[in-house]
Amino acid sequence: MIALEPLDLTALEPAAQAMCVETMARLLCSVEGALQFVVRRRRVTGAAPLDLVGAHVAADALDHAVRAHHAHLLSALPAFRSDVLAVMRHDGHAAALRRQVAMVTEMLRSAGVRSREVAAGAELSSAGVEALRSVLVDGGVRCGLELDRLPGRSVRLGWLHTMLAAPAEFDAAIHLIPVDAAAAHRVVERRLRNLTADRLLDLDRGRIGDAGVDVGLEAAGTLRDRLARNEVRALRLSIVVAVRGADEAEARHYADVVRVAAAGAGLRLRHTHMRHAMALRATLPLGEVASTGKLIDSAAGATCLPLTETVCDDAAGYRLGVTRRTGVPVAVDVFDTAQHSNANLAVFATSGHGKSYTIGALVLEATARGVGALIVDPEGEYLRLMHAAGGQYLRLGSAGAGALNVFDAAPTPREAIPVAVDLVNVLCGSVLDEVERARVDAAMHDAVSAAACAGRATLLGDCAAALAHTAPRAATVLRRVCNGPLAAIFNRPSDIDLEGDLCAISLRELPHEFVPAATLLIAQWLWTRVRTERKRRHIVLDEVGALCVHPPLRELLVQLARRCRKYGASLVVATQNVEDLLRSEEGAVVATNCATVLLGGHRAAEARQMESAFGLTEAQRRFVEHASRGEFLLLAGRRRCEIRVDMPDLHRSILVAES
């Protein structure tokens, strides 16, 4: 048996969906035996407690609050999730079966579906006690349903979602059995003769023709032509469902729920009266195939792949809320290299849609797992969060807050010279030309050498006098920032000591024009720390869109996005102006490099930009346009789903005042 990852293929980019259907069609044309998909849908239960060894002192309270909150949500509104198995049936030797399994696994991988082989579990050894309307087995009652009629129209990938997403517990089996070409031609010809006779009879009696006959004739003629041209392979499709219930009344009720859901997809199911045991056996891996079924071609069979729901329930993941459609709790492990190419995360949402709240929830979840966070806070939004989580909060620009020397932004002062040149350029509004930058660089080298000879730390103001004649614009700006109140930030030896791995540096009290320069200085300083102390942690940069007007900051963001992974760190970027980020090449790299993205509510123009940047489907773009506060489209690797950020009261008491 092959277990398939819970992935919604209809949420992938349109090109990826088309490739998936094409690959599946080729697979159905290649397999030698029957292919069975088993869908096991079960009610979601609460998660187990986290392993909190070595975590923060508040971790136990945070974990307990989240688990209690999810348990309350699941008791108020039951949620269901599905697991999908692919089962190969082969009557030949074991070696031939192994080849077929390897081929199926490889073709599923090329279609973008991860899978793994699993051992067959202990299935029911007997069918139980058969009755007219159900079958009694150990653990309850099962009510069987089987395929009665197909939609009678062209279908697309995911058309079975309505049935498979029914709010009930059941086991469904989709059997795709190859049919001999000659036998398929005979079946189609007989079908054409019967339908043509029905049409002629209606004409002879002067009656209006049956629409079902007309549709059936068209479909049978199309299938005959495609089979004759050898474009497709003939298959017999059988769909069987065994609905679970504690007693017969409950099983029958949920069977009606499934039938109504199937009807929404144009699929008609009927009860398997006096054959419920057969239906139950047909839903078991390698179970007997139902005698009923419909003749289809491999192109239509490719759309029956029952991967229509994304489940994000990573064992060590950050619990950020629940899915909007199903209410299943969402947990995303950004550090899981099997799912994500890097641990970077982006949160994009316009003002008032819960961006800061979501980042705060992420930081609290990271804290509960012992993962640190270094936050650059331009608006002073994370004070309560730091106090509640036991972190350190610094207000840059306020009296006694401390200073960051740019020459401490690298292991040695000479290695920090490029950073200092970029800082001067940003302070000057990013208008220095190459000659001026070269002169600033030369003055920096002289200042470092002079300070080393004097046995003291190099400061930014040491080069102001030398630049008075060679780069007067830079000298004028440096005299301003290296004297007066701003000197306490830019022209003093570093005296900030970040204790531990959880801290936030507020820039709210800085004049707005100096926020980009301070952000560059702090980010470079934090980046040096990340490179010298390799461990899991998040570097959080809020409102990065406004920073991307400065080339040095754009280049630094690209460097962080591409290289954090090598040091076990994670870059977290957020902005309410995603247009500012996407309009530059470097900003687009930062946005699209993040393996995990949360897209909140945006205006239509911005949503269209994100549709192109992230390969959104039309439905996903419409969701982003109309998302309410706290609703996000989660892109986690190939997994995509709509979620609602929903945290317990303990978390809200910490975060709401800050959002």
Domains of the chain by residue range = 2-44+61-303, 341-404+494-655, 407-486
Tokens of 46: 């609460």
What average pLDDT does the structure give for the chain?
88
For the chain, give the percent of residues with pLDDT over 70: 95
d(CA 183, CA 189): 10
Work out the burial of residue 99: count CB atoms within 10 Å of its CB; fewer than 13 is exposed, 13-18 middle, 19 or more buried: middle
Does the pLDDT at position 31 exceed 90? no
Confidence of residue 513 (pLDDT cuts 50, 70, 90): confident
Confidence of residue 400 (pLDDT cuts 50, 70, 90): low
Higher pLDDT, 549 or 244: 244
Confidence of residue 51 (pLDDT cuts 50, 70, 90): low
Q: Is there a contact between 309 and 558 (Cβ–Cβ < 8 Å)? A: no
Confidence of residue 56 (pLDDT cuts 50, 70, 90): low
Does the pLDDT at position 123 exceed 80? no
Tokens of 429: 């509004």
Find tokens 């809320």 and name the residue.
321
Confidence of residue 55 (pLDDT cuts 50, 70, 90): low
Higher pLDDT, 115 or 89: 115
Task: For residue range 156-183, list pLDDT tens digits in order.
Answer: 999 999 999 999 999 999 999 999 988 8
**pLDDT given at position 145:** 96
617: number of Cβ within 10 Å: 17
For 161, list phi and psi in degrees, rounded to 5.
-60, -40
d(CA 462, CA 453): 13
Does the pLDDT at position 314 exceed 50? yes
- DSSP-H helix ranges across 380-464: 383-389, 417-427, 434-454
**pLDDT given at position 50:** 67
Does the pLDDT at position 47 exceed 80? no
Q: Which of 452, 373, 458 minimizes the C-alpha distance to 419?
A: 458
Confidence of residue 235 (pLDDT cuts 50, 70, 90): very high
Does the pLDDT at position 657 exceed 70? no
**pLDDT given at position 167:** 95
Q: Which residues of 470-504 are buried (b: 16+ CB within 10 A; e: fewer)?
A: ebeebbebbeebbeeebbbbbbbeeebeeeebbbb
236: number of Cβ within 10 Å: 21
Give the CATH H-level superfamily of domain 341-404+494-655: P-loop containing nucleotide triphosphate hydrolases (3.40.50.300)
Q: Is there a contact between 573 and 346 (Cβ–Cβ < 8 Å)? A: yes
**pLDDT given at position 218:** 84
**pLDDT given at position 498:** 64
| Minimum mean pLDDT range among 210-219, 264-273, 464-473 | 210-219
Q: Is there a contact between 31 and 104 (Cβ–Cβ < 8 Å)? A: yes
Task: For residue range 239-257, list pLDDT tens digits in order.
Answer: 999 999 999 999 999 999 9
Overall average pLDDT of the 435-443 stretch: 94
Q: Is there a contact between 4 and 115 (Cβ–Cβ < 8 Å)? A: yes
**pLDDT given at position 530:** 86
Choose from 27-31, 45-49, 263-267 the range with maximum mean pLDDT: 263-267
Q: Which of 659, 602, 607 minimizes the C-alpha distance to 631?
A: 602
Confidence of residue 25 (pLDDT cuts 50, 70, 90): very high
Q: Is 173 helix (H, G, I), strand (E, B) or coil?
A: strand
**pLDDT given at position 176:** 94
Work out the burial of residue 329: count CB atoms within 10 Å of its CB; fewer than 13 is exposed, 13-18 middle, 19 or more buried: buried
Q: Which of 242, 342, 256, 272 minimizes the C-alpha distance to 562?
A: 342
**Rg (alpha carbons) of the chain, rounded to whole number:** 31
Does the pLDDT at position 510 exceed 70? yes
Strand partners, 642: 633
d(CA 659, CA 650): 15
d(CA 566, CA 531): 9
Does the pLDDT at position 133 exceed 60? yes
Task: For residue range 606-656, list pLDDT tens digits in order.
Answer: 999 999 999 999 999 999 999 999 999 999 989 999 999 999 999 999 998
Strand partners, 244: 142
Q: Is 426 helix (H, G, I), strand (E, B) or coil?
A: helix
**pLDDT given at position 399:** 59
Confidence of residue 659 (pLDDT cuts 50, 70, 90): very low
**Which residues contact residue 536 at a Cβ distance below 8 angstroms, ignoring those fewer than 6 apart?**
335, 343, 371, 372, 568, 569, 570
d(CA 557, CA 562): 9
Element (H, E) at 538: strand 537-542
DSSP assignments along 211-274, one per residue: HHHHHHHHHHHHHHHHHHTT-S-EEEEEEEEEEEESSHHHHHHHHHHHHHHHHTTT-EEEE-TT
Strand duo 115-117 + 294-297: pairing:
unpaired
DSSP assignments along 89-125, one per residue: ---S-HHHHHHHHHHHHHHHHHTT--EEE-------S
**Which residues contact residue 139 at a Cβ distance below 8 angstroms, ignoring those fewer than 6 apart?**
none
**pLDDT given at position 658:** 47
d(CA 352, CA 117): 46
